[in-house]
Amino acid sequence: MTVATPAKPAVRRPVVKPDRTILLVLFFVVTSVLLIISHQPGMMKSLGPFGDVLRNKVVEALVVSLFLANVLFAYLWKAANWAKLLVGIGSLLFVLPLAGQTDTSLLDLSIQIMIFAALALGLNIVVGLAGLLDLGYVAFFAVGAYTWSIFASPRFGEVLKYYGENPGATGSGTLAIGLVLTGVTAGSMLYIRGLHGRMAPTRLSSLSFLLAGFGLLSGIILVGRSILVLASGSAAAVASGINPGFFWLFLALSIMAAAIVGVLIGLPVLRLKGDYLAIITLGLGEVIRVLANNLGLYTAGSQGITPIGSAPVPWFNSLAGSLGFRPDQYSLLFLYVLVLIVIAVILLVNVRLDKSRIGRAWVAIRDDEIAAQAMGVPLMQTKLIAFATGASFAGVMGMIFAAKQTFISPESFNLLQSITVLSMVVLGGMGSFSGVILGAAVVTLLNLRILPGLGEASANVPWIPQEVNPANFNRFIFGSILVAMMLLRPEGLLPNKRVARELHHEDDQEDESEDGNASGLKQGGDVYSAGLATIKEDDRPGGER
């Protein structure tokens, strides 16, 4: 006897993405071959007219973007894990360096893309996760770059020489005074801070805290100055910069320096919100640039610092040599690998932070500051951590940037750079890691390849005046990216799910109404937030609340 099995109710399966393993591998092979061919000058010549097309800068940019799209597809498509791994590792570790062997500009471009990807990831923490619009982000990049450049270039010797010639009344006595002052003031600051933990700060205690802060600052200046004077004897020894072996130490120092500057800038300004914060950070970014321009002794002013050393890696060089690289390519290849490692670490930190307590606190602050505070999120501290984390990514990449360029000047760190990074974040999608990396790749390719390529193409056309050379249209491009994305797709190309839902609040209402509590959300603008909520009528972001 058979019991008729009741027909199973139709289960609505989630849409299954088609498996694209074969497509992915095929795409990888084709683009890799194309990339390698297009960077082999000898082979291009034999290709005749086709080679000429490939040599065009714009076409080259397209080839490179197609190639980089591999990595993107490996991330997005559903495919076997081995294929994803193969494409990711194969393209970044084998094909790119291989193609770069005959054409180092490709390595340079890749390093540049990854540097900007790291900057975008850093800014993404500040803008995308914590909702604090920072328009002076490139200042941290500058701090990292100058931290290494001053020491790893002839500048350091000149600074020491200057202090040797102008010791003033400085000597070991000053060092002692400075150390005592630093110790005492730092101690009293800690003590007052401890007191404030136990009782409400009074006017007097706040004042003494401020006073101790000034004392600490002057103590540090005294110590620094006397150390410089005492060390001035070795000016000749560091005439071409300190031992490049310090590179690894400075990798950590640049992170720390940028984070400290981030906290110092953040402390006064993070009480402000929204647009005020934007304009203040813009201002402080400019302040740092102007300082770099004017502190000629340390930064060589507008002439810039050069040459800047890089890490000595004999074992890596011999490895590269055995792989067939030329000695003049070693340094670039090394930086490429270094940048790859650093960005992998940064990405890991990002992903881990995003899921951590602090990451959730950032998102909470972005979405609703008051609610976050009510839930016990310490506002200032959390915002400062966001600033410092974002800054430290910029700091380490600034140092690598300086080592790659071997030349930096204040003009490398102007407002347009901050806007560039912002447009990467906006293009890719605020809060989305894969998005901002994509944004960084697209904008950098536009900036470094496509626009100059168009510029070269138009340079030979007689009726286009030099003043309208497309190579100079980067402001227009970035502006259009910002406006178009904000008007048409504010969540970015590869949106973060949460942000997308937030931004399309009204569209979701129908879906949510099943839960019965969507009606309360109908107004859409009832939530107060510095970052992503709508503007309320009597909302004055200027002051503290």
Partner 1 sequence: MELSVLLPFIVNVIVGGLVLGFVYAIIALGYTMVYGVLQLINFAHSEVFITGAVVGFEIFRVLQDSAMNGYLKLLLALLAAMTVSGLLNVLIERLAYRPLRGAPRLVPLITAIGVSLILQDVLRFLEGLQGRFDLTYTLPTGFGNKFCATDSTCAPVGNFLRTIGVDVQLKDVILVVVALVSLLVLNYVVNRTRLGKAIRAVSQDRVTAGLMGIDSNRMISATFLIGGSLGGVSGVLFGMKFGTVNAYSGFDPGIIAFTAAVLGGIGSIPGAVLGGLLLGVIQNLIGVMNIFGNLLGFANLGTIDASYSKIGPFIVLVLILIFKPTGLLGKSNVEKV
Geometric angle at alpha carbon 455, from 453 and 459, rounded to 5°: 120
Please report whether residue 87 would count as binding partner 1 according to CB under 8 A: no
Report CA torsion sign: 157, 111, 419, 467.
positive
Q: Which is nearer to partner 1, 60 or 369 (CB)?
A: 369
Please report whether residue 169 would count as binding partner 1 according to CB under 8 A: no
Q: Which is nearer to partner 1, 175 or 532 (CB)?
A: 532
Please report whether residue 472 would count as binding partner 1 according to CB under 8 A: yes
Q: Which is nearer to partner 1, 130 or 399 (CB)?
A: 130
- Shortest spacing between CB 283 and partner 1, in angstroms: 3
- Shortest spacing between CB 55 and partner 1, in angstroms: 28
Q: Which is nearer to partner 1, 214 or 476 (CB)?
A: 476
**Residue list 315-354, contact with partner 1 (CB under 8 A):** none
Take residue 186 and report the two structure tokens written for it.
């730092």
Rounded Cα–Cα distance for residues 496 and 366 (Å) = 14
The DSSP code for 5 is P
For the beta carbon of residue 307, count every other beta carbon within 10 angstroms: 14
Q: Which of 280, 265, 285 is nearest to 384 (CA)?
A: 265
Contact (CB, 8 A) for 116 and 421: yes
Rounded Cα–Cα distance for residues 444 and 450 (Å) = 9
CA distances from 475 to 346, 416, 478 (A): 28, 8, 5
Segment contacting partner 1 (CB under 8 A): 140-148, 286-294, 314-322, 400-408?
Answer: 286-294
- Shortest spacing between CB 279 and partner 1, in angstroms: 6
Q: Which is nearer to partner 1, 60 or 502 (CB)?
A: 502
Q: Which is nearer to partner 1, 100 or 128 (CB)?
A: 128
**Residue list 209-228, contact with partner 1 (CB under 8 A):** none
Q: Which residue in 51, 88, 274, 307 binds partner 1 (CB under 8 A)?
A: 274
Tell me how far the alpha carbon of residue 16 is from its chain's centroid.
Answer: 35
Please report whether residue 529 would count as binding partner 1 according to CB under 8 A: yes
Q: Which residue in 25, 125, 189, 282 binds partner 1 (CB under 8 A)?
A: 282
Segment contacting partner 1 (CB under 8 A): 143-151, 186-194, 224-232, 264-272?
Answer: 264-272
Q: Which residue in 478, 495, 496, 500 binds partner 1 (CB under 8 A)?
A: 478
Please report whether residue 500 would count as binding partner 1 according to CB under 8 A: no
Give 343's contacts (C-beta < 8 A, 6+ positions apart): 114, 117, 118, 121
Rounded Cα–Cα distance for residues 10 and 497 (Å) = 28
Q: Which is nearer to partner 1, 284 or 399 (CB)?
A: 284
Q: Which residue in 479, 497, 511, 519 binds partner 1 (CB under 8 A)?
A: 479
Please report whether residue 525 would count as binding partner 1 according to CB under 8 A: yes
Segment contacting partner 1 (CB under 8 A): 91-99, 279-287, 312-320, 398-406?
Answer: 279-287
Q: Which residue in 9, 42, 49, 465 binds partner 1 (CB under 8 A)?
A: 465
Take residue 260 and report the two structure tokens written for it.
């400290």
Using only C-alpha atoms, the chain has a radius of gyration, in whole angstroms, of: 27
Contact (CB, 8 A) for 386 and 265: no
For the beta carbon of residue 6, count every other beta carbon within 10 angstroms: 6
- HSE-CB at 1 with a 13 A cutoff on CA atoms is 1
Q: Which residue in 173, 268, 321, 378 binds partner 1 (CB under 8 A)?
A: 268
Q: Which residue in 105, 480, 513, 519 binds partner 1 (CB under 8 A)?
A: 480
Total residues in contact with partner 1, by rule CB under 8 A: 63
Please report whether residue 131 would count as binding partner 1 according to CB under 8 A: yes
Please report whether residue 167 would count as binding partner 1 according to CB under 8 A: no
Segment contacting partner 1 (CB under 8 A): 126-134, 190-198, 240-248, 319-327?
Answer: 126-134
3-state SS, 360-408, equals: HHHHHHHHCHHHHHHCCCCHHHHHHHHHHHHHHHHHHHHHHHHHHHCCE
- Shortest spacing between CB 127 and partner 1, in angstroms: 7
**Peptide bond before 307: cis, by omega within 30 degrees of 0?**
yes
Give 511's contacts (C-beta < 8 A, 6+ positions apart): none
Take residue 537 and report the two structure tokens written for it.
């009528």
Please report whether residue 487 would count as binding partner 1 according to CB under 8 A: yes
Give 370's contacts (C-beta < 8 A, 6+ positions apart): 528
Strand partners, 305: 408
**Residue list 398-437, contact with partner 1 (CB under 8 A):** 415, 419, 422-423, 426, 430
Contact (CB, 8 A) for 157 and 235: yes
Residues that bind partner 1 (CB under 8 A): 127, 131, 133, 135, 268-269, 271-272, 274-276, 278-280, 282-284, 286-287, 290, 293-294, 415, 419, 422-423, 426, 430, 465, 467-468, 472-473, 475-476, 478-483, 486-487, 490, 502-503, 524-525, 529-535, 537-544
